Amino acid sequence: MTLSWTCGPWSRSPVMDSGTFSGVPGGVDMALETEGDFRVVERGTWSYAAAVGVGPLRFGMAVSEVVDAAEVLGSAKVSVCRRQCAVFSQTWKVEVHRRGGAPSAPAVTAYVSQDAGLFGVACDAVKGPQVAYHGLLLVGREMGELESDMIA
């Protein structure tokens, strides 16, 4: 499971649930892996600030700045996203993999456009860093528990 944050008018995330993930236009349903499927890793904690950033990643950063900031977690791989519509500027996906681990899905994925800079961050709920908003842990929790804590 991955939780994601974006900055801008497109910041609606699909509803997440344990078991399957869907909601991406043209996407497919995927089985989610649980923490029991992976070895335990030291995750660290990143803070989330609305319209500012997540951990060392700040909305508006250029690709090179995202790669440099991601060094705290591991190595970064940059790829070009296929343009879905001519009105959008060139966009890159930066996948950050933890150091020293077996090859696996990225711990963090960042999306950067030529015009807006960093606009989206997705943290893997098992391999990625814990993310906290005003001290409340957001990643790797049951959605109902998170909702109750947010309301309280």
Distance CA 63, CA 57 (A): 11
pLDDT at 17 over 60: no
* 31 or 45, greater pLDDT: 45
pTM beyond cutoff 0.75: no
- pLDDT tens per residue, range 86-107: 767 899 999 999 987 677 889 9
pLDDT at 126: 85
pLDDT at 152: 84
pLDDT at 11 over 50: no
pLDDT at 31: 38
pLDDT at 145: 94
User: What's phi and psi for 148, nearest 5 deg?
Assistant: -60, -45
pLDDT bin (cut points 50, 70, 90) of residue 40 is very low
pLDDT at 9: 39
**Cβ partners under 8 Å of residue 98, min gap 6:** 41, 73, 74, 107, 127
- pLDDT tens per residue, range 47-75: 999 999 999 999 999 999 999 999 988 99
pLDDT bin (cut points 50, 70, 90) of residue 42 is low
* 83 or 95, greater pLDDT: 95
**Cβ partners under 8 Å of residue 1, min gap 6:** 16, 18, 21, 32, 124, 125, 126, 140
